[in-house]
Chain A
Amino acid sequence: MREAASLRRNLLRFLLTVGPGALWLFAFVLLPSVLVLIASLMSRGSFGQLAPPLGLHNYVRFFTEPLFWEIVGRSLWIGFWATVLTVLLGYPLAFYIAQHRHKQFLLLLVIIPFFTNFLIRVYAWIVLLQREGVVNAVITAFGLPPAELFPSSFAVYLATVYTYLPFFVLPLYAAVERIEWNQLEAAYDLGAGPLRGFWEAIFPQTLPGLLAGFLLTFIPAVGTFVIADLLGGGKVILIGNLIQQQFGAAQNWAFGAACSMILMGLVLLGLWLYARSQGERGLDELV
């Protein structure tokens, strides 16, 4: 009798803790993903609504038109180089912060832009780069002709690096904090120079954080539509912009859903490569 009561209590507790979260994740994460998959197999109705016939035609269209290959290529290209630039800027910074006397304060300095509204950060670059903007005011003050900096793909790169730099620095910092520096001393004792010591004793220890940061920068950089929309002046179309257009002006939700599935495929490919290199723990490291 008492055991049955305790079992029932336990079940109740289980349902109370896991239940709401599980329901929420099924209803608002799993179900919508399934809907995107279904929508991607449908067609555009005469009023722009989702309609039969079902089929793979959206995917066929995507992969047979060179325009869409170009968009995917451009997204990956810009995402990749913006991420590489972010890595070059952020990698030394994480070391500087980790070794600083007031590292908590410096960390706060990185976190503030991380939490600053994304649109304000993008908007700030318009104010700086536009024809009558701050950068041109400085350039013309030196007697040089004003530069056409906005809208341009240069502006897109710059704002992407700027936006995602904190996303990269924070996971990398976590890895740098955990470095066992005695490995460097051991390398020195074994006769390594500073460069070789860094490369063989320090760099491998930062690799998990470096990869996590790379992914956390690369995925949103490939997926964003706002930066290209506001700073590219309609000339820089990325896959994110394509999706937004299909759900907006073009009113072709079925094709937009297929584009989303393709973007998701790219993301999953990246995650799979990452998980393969980092093992099971890798995914937890990401968050």
Chain B
Amino acid sequence: MKRLLAVYSWAIFAFLYLPILVIAVLSFNRSRFGVSWTGFTLDWYNRLFANERVLEYLGNTLVVAVVSTALATTIGTLLAVGLVRYEFRLKSLLRYLLYVPVVVPDVVMGISLLLLFNTLRDAIGWPRLSLLTIILAHVSFQVAYVTLVVRARLMLLDPALEEAAQDLGATGWRTFREVTLPLISPGVVSGALLAFSLSLDDFVVTFFTSGSGSTTLPLYIYGKVKTGITPDIHALSTLMVGSTILVLLLGWLFWRKGGTK
């Protein structure tokens, strides 16, 4: 019984990794068409790096991810602290709003933000669909995730620690900076990591909120798949998967170190 479970589980791991592995292998294949192996080459990678548009899209993707993550982590952490600390009238409405981006299908989120930007532009002439609208849209779903992750961490916190700091004469800001923030930092870091990868991964919301001149890598891959696959997309995919694994491994090591403390 135990053996059967092990075989079954490793078959599923194989199912999860085989497609990604196949793409990685094909990205080094000399052949342009089909999947038969005709020799090792780095040509597709060279071609990718020589493609200035791809570098521009990479730049757009990273700008969006970094700016939106910074914004969402700040807003979300503050909101989590406020939600745990204070009782107020609109609290339950805010709690429901936090679940909206988590449970609503991407396509609904995308078109609702498109409608918002379009209505605003008709009314006050701003904003045009651009990197800015993508960033605003990404923050809108990231805030929810960051808040929920940080709030979970805050709920584990012993309130006596903050009270002790206050009794020793620390001001509110000093308590927050020197006691609360360090204690919830694992939550803040994992919230930020989650927000960052949600931004890198997002296709659907970006699809509806981007304009000309604000193409990101997922949008580029989508366009290529629609018009015809070339092996440099294998190379691009391999690099993207590689960096995902690297970031996760780093996060995992960080988390393990934090966990043993």
B103's partner among A39, A122, A247, A271 (CB-CB below 8 A) is A271
Among residues 1 to 20 in chain B, which have CB atoms less than 8 Å away from a CB atom of chain A? Answer: 5-6, 8-9, 12-13, 15-17, 19-20
Say yes or no for A232: interface residue by CB 8 A criterion: no
Residues of A within 8 A of B107 (CB): 223-225, 240, 243-244, 260, 263
The 8 A CB mask of B106-131 against A (1 = contact, 0 = none) is 11100111111001000000000000
Is the Cβ of A18 less than 8 Å from the Cβ of B82?
A: yes
In this complex, what residue of A is CB-closest to B146?
Answer: A21
Is the Cβ of B19 less than 8 Å from the Cβ of A39?
A: no
Is the Cβ of B102 less than 8 Å from the Cβ of A286?
A: yes
A21's partner among B75, B88, B101, B241 (CB-CB below 8 A) is B75
A25's partner among B97, B104, B203, B256 (CB-CB below 8 A) is B97
**Nearest CB in chain A: distance from B209 CB, A:** 11
Is the Cβ of B221 less than 8 Å from the Cβ of A127?
A: no
| Interchain CA distance A89-B12 in the complex, whole Å | 7
Is the Cβ of B248 less than 8 Å from the Cβ of A112?
A: yes
- Which has the most chain A C-beta neighbours within 10 Å: B79, B107, B203, B248? B107
| Interchain CA distance A124-B145 in the complex, whole Å | 28
| Interchain CA distance A126-B88 in the complex, whole Å | 51
Residues of A within 8 A of B19 (CB): 121, 124-125, 127-128, 162
Is the Cβ of A108 less than 8 Å from the Cβ of B82?
A: no
A119 and B222 in contact, given A9-B172, A224-B105 (Cβ under 8 angstroms): yes
Is the Cβ of A115 less than 8 Å from the Cβ of B201?
A: yes
Stretch of A28-36, A62-70, A199-207 with 4 or more beta carbons under 8 angstroms from chain B: A28-36
Say yes or no for B139: interface residue by CB 8 A criterion: yes
Residues of B within 8 A of A32 (CB): 112-113, 115-116
Residues of B within 8 A of A260 (CB): 107-108, 111-112
Is the Cβ of B222 less than 8 Å from the Cβ of A127?
A: no
Is the Cβ of A25 less than 8 Å from the Cβ of B98?
A: yes
- Which has the most chain A C-beta neighbours within 10 Å: B16, B116, B172? B16
Among residues 195 to 229 in chain B, which have CB atoms less than 8 Å away from a CB atom of chain A? Answer: 197, 200-201, 203-204, 208, 217-218, 221-222, 225-226, 229
**Nearest CB in chain B: distance from A27 CB, A:** 8
A117's partner among B148, B200, B256 (CB-CB below 8 A) is B200
Is the Cβ of A256 less than 8 Å from the Cβ of B111?
A: yes
Residues of B within 8 A of A14 (CB): 82, 85-86, 88
**Nearest CB in chain B: distance from A102 CB, A:** 12
Is the Cβ of A29 less than 8 Å from the Cβ of B140?
A: yes
| Interchain CA distance A127-B203 in the complex, whole Å | 20
Residues of A within 8 A of B38 (CB): none
A165's partner among B16, B105, B106 (CB-CB below 8 A) is B16
**Nearest CB in chain A: distance from B45 CB, A:** 16
Stretch of A53-61, A131-139, A176-184, A185-193 with 4 or more beta carbons under 8 angstroms from chain B: A131-139
Say yes or no for A154: interface residue by CB 8 A criterion: no
Is the Cβ of B116 less than 8 Å from the Cβ of A35?
A: yes
Is the Cβ of A29 less than 8 Å from the Cβ of B221?
A: no
In this complex, what residue of B is CB-closest to A132?
Answer: B34
Among residues 216 to 261 in chain B, which have CB atoms less than 8 Å away from a CB atom of chain A? Answer: 217-218, 221-222, 225-226, 229, 233-234, 237, 240-241, 244-245, 247-249, 252, 256
- Which has the most chain A C-beta neighbours within 10 Å: B12, B19, B143? B19
Is the Cβ of B112 less than 8 Å from the Cβ of A22?
A: no
Is the Cβ of A17 less than 8 Å from the Cβ of B22?
A: no
Say yes or no for B58: interface residue by CB 8 A criterion: no
Say yes or no for A16: interface residue by CB 8 A criterion: yes
- Which has the most chain B C-beta neighbours within 10 Å: A32, A166, A220, A224? A32
Is the Cβ of B105 less than 8 Å from the Cβ of A134?
A: no
In this complex, what residue of A is CB-closest to B26?
Answer: A127
The 8 A CB mask of B137-150 against A (1 = contact, 0 = none) is 10110011101100
Is the Cβ of B108 less than 8 Å from the Cβ of A243?
A: yes
Say yes or no for A120: interface residue by CB 8 A criterion: yes
Residues of A within 8 A of B113 (CB): 28, 32
In this complex, what residue of A is CB-closest to B136?
Answer: A28
In this complex, what residue of B is CB-closest to A169?
Answer: B12
B112's partner among A19, A36, A226 (CB-CB below 8 A) is A36
**Nearest CB in chain A: distance from B141 CB, A:** 9
Is the Cβ of A117 less than 8 Å from the Cβ of B252?
A: no
| Interchain CA distance A59-B33 in the complex, whole Å | 47
- Give me 11 other A-B pairs in contact (C-beta within 8 A), A108-B248, A243-B111 excluded: A14-B82, A18-B79, A21-B143, A24-B143, A35-B112, A35-B119, A96-B6, A109-B16, A110-B16, A123-B23, A257-B115
17 contacts between A and B (CB under 8 A): A9-B172, A16-B78, A18-B82, A24-B75, A24-B143, A115-B247, A116-B241, A118-B218, A123-B221, A126-B225, A132-B34, A137-B35, A223-B106, A225-B107, A263-B105, A271-B103, A287-B99
Binding site for B on A (CB under 8 A): 9, 13-14, 16-22, 24-26, 28-33, 35-36, 39, 89-90, 92-93, 95-97, 104, 108-113, 115-128, 132-134, 137, 162, 165-166, 215, 219-220, 222-226, 230, 240, 243-244, 247, 253, 256-257, 260, 263-264, 267, 271, 283, 286-287
